[in-house]
Structure 1
């Protein structure tokens, strides 16, 4: 059996989530590819046309389209919206295994805090007077901590994108919600015979 091509689409709550998650997902898939017995080709995650905060029927319509062309569709929500991912899966019982939930506790920004060295690299001129909590998922306001860490800079697209490229995957594996996401992604890839 020859190499296969993995296609993956992502729907997020907003653009800032995409800036961080797209490079992060690509890095995680590259790492998982090392476990594949035959290997597979992957050119990167594609982003859907709507955000998951849109009306649920619109999101379901987008998922319908994406499932026609992609092996896996990832749906991102913050933890308080987890039920929306389950509601979408319920609409696609035959393909529910191809819909992967990407749900940080509280907000995606908590994952950006997991690697203090990457944060310092993202804002090298910033005085390191801020403190990252040991358990980033317990941060009451991850956005405020991240803003302080980055010095309140307004170039979130560049900063979030850089963090997505540099935050250590080993540091993220210490975050329970990240482990849950990678476990679900691994199960989907195994069921589709990529791993």
Structure 2
């Protein structure tokens, strides 16, 4: 008999949900496929959870404790502020949920991209191109040599808008474009291998694996 596992996501905004919902299910499935001890079905789509404050998120998590197995908590951060963001966004929620309804802290996973979530969306240029109707990123357009360069950008959101605008040609017609409409497709196809080269994504993937291990779903190493 298969075990059904539900992931829930607290995100900062609608565009974050668009990119992350498909991506998170894929990462969880990859971990289970590689290390799982039993047949597991990852619920799709990942559940979008309401709540911006720690207090609101605690109420939501406690209300859904029997329906959601892993709570993923998104918060953008810089390299230097990561510890502070992790404490305010993730650790405080763990402590409150434990105190309020006995919800294990191991079921909360921090998702903390460097600067902005769009840095993750930029890590796979081919996924960007495919979202715009190309087979792969055009060799004639320079972007990155390595995915890790995306985390060092001062403004990933603007960089992603520019990349998408270049691909679809709207800049030549004098109009700007928002990448938000393409994020769901990028999240569904972005290479997990490329994403794992980013320090912040690699840490998220490791923490997600630990949460799935806490549920007893993975082989002991």
- Looking at structure 1, the residues matched to 155 and 192 of structure 2 have their Cα atoms a distance apart, in angstroms, of 22
- Structure number with bigger Rg: 2
Which stretch shifts more, 102-111 or 68-77?
A: 68-77
User: TM-score by structure 1 length?
Assistant: 0.88
| Secondary structure in structure 2 of the residue aligned to 1:143 | helix
Aligned residues between the structures: 190
State the 1:67 CA deviation.
Answer: 2.2
Q: By how many angstroms is 1:129 displaced? A: 4.2
How far did residue 68 of structure 1 move?
Answer: 3.3
Question: Which residue of 160, 165, 168 corresponds with 2:188?
Answer: 165
Q: Which segment drifts farther, 60-69 or 127-136?
A: 127-136
1:142 and 1:174 map into 2 onto residues whose CA distance is: 17
3-state SS, counterpart of residue 47 of structure 1: strand
Check 1:5–1:124 CA distance in 2 against 1; reply closer, same or farther (3 A cut). closer
Poorly superposed stretches of 4+, deviation over 3 Å? 124-130
Question: Which of 143, 148, 165 lines up with 2:162 in the alignment?
Answer: 148
SS state at 2:71 partner: strand
Q: Which moved more, 1:32-41 or 1:13-22?
A: 32-41
Give the gaps of 5 or more residues in structure 2. 166-175
Cross-structure match for 1:131: 143
Partner of 2:55: 57
Cα deviation 1:21-44 (Å, max 9, x = unaligned)? 001011112212212122212222
Partner of 1:122: 131
- TM-score, with normalisation over the residues of structure 2? 0.78
Deviation of the 1:130 alpha carbon: 5.4
